[in-house]
Structure formats: structure tokens, C-alpha cells
Structure 1
């Protein structure tokens, strides 16, 4: 009887585990299942972002990407680890629900709660025109990621000359009015990301998309749980 109960218990656990793992669409994975030690600070799950509140669709501090993008990221992490460095993720897969939240926020001109930190010299009405916000985001295709490099010993981010999600020319790859160290740090991130198949977005030093992304024309809207 005990053996029968144990067997049933194990079967039930396998079913529950399988259901949990199958909550993501086919082709998507939780990044920490492949890179358990990667640093994660999903900004849109917090209030420390340009909106100033948790963004719709972000129900957990979990990084989701396509399996193909995750496997490429795994190689990057492994190479950086040899230098005592690692990756820190600010955003990855982003539900269309969250993109819609950004659109509503951008259209509310009176809401400038986080302006001083994130867009001190940009009028909210120009955010779409300047390419900082869009009605569709590559993040929703699942192979775009926002990230930086950290020192594994002290967990500090390398100085990139502008903070994540800063809406201004300072965030662009071609911006020159930063220190030599800051330029070198940006170049280091860009080189290793490109080495493993990612391409940079010119206006944001933190933003990369996998070249051979599996869902080039499909935008997803499942929540981050």
C-alpha cells in the first residue's frame, strides 16, 4: 500500500511539474533554467522605471526568452565568467500588454513622475518620434534583451556612461562625451554580444536582438509569471 501511495505521489508531482513547465509557448524558456546564476533585475516588475510603477504583464521577476536566444546568452555568460564578470538582465521577453501600458503612459502628458531620472531633456510627446517607445516592440518576439555586465565579486555594474532606460543621446552607441573607461565597457558588451549572434540597437547601449530570432514576425502577449 505504501509503495502504491508513493508511486501515485511521484506521478502526481511529475504531472504538476510538467504542467508548470508547459506554461510557456513552445520555443520559450526561463533563462535561469539554463543560466541559474545570472543576475536579474527586471525593472518593469519594480517601480524603478520610467513609468514609476509596476508595468502590466510583469507578474514575476523572471527572465523569459526564446530557447535559441537563451542558448546564445549562455555562451556569453560562460565566457564572461572566465574574467570574473557576468551578465545582469533588465528586461527580456515583454508582453504586448506591457507595450500597451507604455503607450498609454506616453499619451498621458501630465504624468512626469520619473522625468528627472529617465528623460530630463525629452518631451514626452517626442518619445515615439525619437524611437524610445513604439507601438510594437521586438521584445515581444522573445529574442531581444536589455542587459549589462557586472563584476561577479562585488555585483556592481560596469560604468556604461548612462543608466539603463535613459532617454537621451547619451545612451546611443555613437555618443562620444563619455570617459575612455565607459567607452571600453560599452565596446566590451557590444563585441561579446555580436560574437554570439546578437545585434545592437544604435540608440540604446543595453539593447540587443538575436540575428536569427525564431519569431521574426510574431508578437506574443503571455504574462510573465
Structure 2
């Protein structure tokens, strides 16, 4: 009787332990479960150039951004496969891709918001927002929630056969109307370069963002209402 009782208790405790473990797994890691659907674009597209700005110091904050533990481009599988089509089409024309940013953890977005609210820190103004006050950046340029955190948005440009960036009329992450795709101040050749990038991207299913010539989002987005926060590593 004692053995039977102990066996029953042991079996019950094991069942409870498994149940609790399963509940913890379901409740604690829903985003991590989706992490397996993201791919390393650098491995998928070895010919693409990576200049992951938020991993280093050359960005509008002026230092590495939280959540970027490696200089990698991560994208949801659907967006990554579409980007492969872009690269193939670009190579036919003797061009290549240079990637600045892909998936962006929510903690990185939070870092941006803290920076933009620190009005005394203007170290990068001359390069990244020369014609705007820092208090004008929140909203159109820096948002509290970013489409990048969904894994379907990418920032990139085109390079020639020697790896030189095509002249787009403004650098990546320049917060100014000059970066609007159709800004009237850019030259015909600069506009042609922007439209070449836009055409390659839209042909593969990416939607442009008119305020930033480098910014595109694959449609439909795999997780249009989710903002992931796992780190880039």
C-alpha cells in the first residue's frame, strides 16, 4: 500500500512538473518560437555587402545600439527570399546590394527614443540632421514602434561592380526632406538611381517609404501586428 501510494504521488508530481514546464514554455517564449522563422541574410546572400550601422558607432546616435550583438541582417524567411530575387535581378544589371539595417529589436527602438528625447546630445547633428531640430525627429523619422521590429523591413542601397555605392543624393539615415524619394533638389542621375532601387524592390514585392529612399517593407508582412525584441546575434 505504501509503495502504491508513493508511486501515485510521484506520478502526480511528475505530471504537475510537466504541465508547469509546458505552461512556462508557452507563456515565456512566444517570440523566441518565431525566431526560428528568421534567417541570416548574410548567409543566404553571400554576395551582398553588409554595413550594419547600428552595430557600430557610425550612426545618428553615435554609438552601438542596444540589441545589436552582431553585425548581422536578420529577416523573416518570406522577406529574405524576396530579397534574394532582388539581388538576382540587380546582378543581371551589373549591380549589387549594400544593406544597412534589417530586423531591429524593440529595445533598439527604445534606445532611439531615449536618444531623441535627450535634446542636449547633438554630436551627430552635422551629418545626420543638419537642417532639423532634434525635437522634430520623433514621428516621421524616429518612431516608438518600428516596422523593422516585425522582420519584413530593410534599409539598403545599390552598389556598382566594384562595390561603390550609387549616388542617391543623400546618405543613409539623413533626416531631411532631401532623403524623400522624389525630392526636387536631386539631380536626374540621382533620381534615376533611386528609381532603379525602387523598381528592383517593388518588382519583388517590397513597398517603398516615400520619406526615405532606402527603406522598404515586404508585403504582406508575416507579423503585421508584432514587434519582436530578441537580440541580433
TM more than 0.5: yes
Of Structure 1 and Structure 2, the greater helix share is in 2
- Which of 72, 79, 82 is residue 69 of structure 1 equivalent to? 79
- Structure 1 residue runs of 4+, over 6 Å off? none
Give the one of 126, 136, 143 matched to 2:152. Answer: 143
Following superposition of structure 1 onto structure 2, how do residues 115-130 of structure 1 map, counting pairs within 5 Å? 115-129=125-139
Q: CA deviation at 1:32?
A: 2.0
Who is 2:168 aligned against?
Answer: 160
- Partners of 2:197 and 2:204 in 1: how far apart? 11
Whole-angstrom distance in 2 between the partners of 1:31 and 1:89 = 10
Tell me which residue corresponds to 1:60: 70
Structure 1: runs of 5+ lacking an equivalent = 1-21
Secondary structure of 1:90 counterpart: strand
* C-alpha separation in 2, matches of 1:174 and 1:182: 10
Structure 1 residue corresponding to 2:56, chosen from 20, 23, 46: 46
**1:126 Cα deviation (Å)?**
1.1
Tell me the distance in 1 between the aligned counterparts of 2:163 and 2:44. Answer: 20
Kindly report which structure 2 residues correspond to 1:1-225, keeping only aligned pairs within 5 A, or say none: 25-129=35-139, 131-152=140-161, 154-225=162-233
The CA deviation string for residues 18-38 of structure 1, in whole angstroms up to 9 with x for no partner, is xxxx99713211112221121
Quote the Cα distance in structure 2 between the aligned partners of 1:61 and 1:23. 22
The alignment covers a number of residue pairs equal to 202
Find the structure with the greater CA-based Rg.
Answer: 2
Q: Shift of the alpha carbon at 1:174?
A: 2.0
User: What is the TM-score normalised by the length of structure 2?
Assistant: 0.84
Aligned residues: CA RMSD: 1.3
Deviations 1:24-69 (A, max 9, x none): 7132111122211210000001100000000111111111000000
- 3-state SS in 2 of match to 1:89: strand
1:210 Cα deviation from its structure 2 partner: 0.6
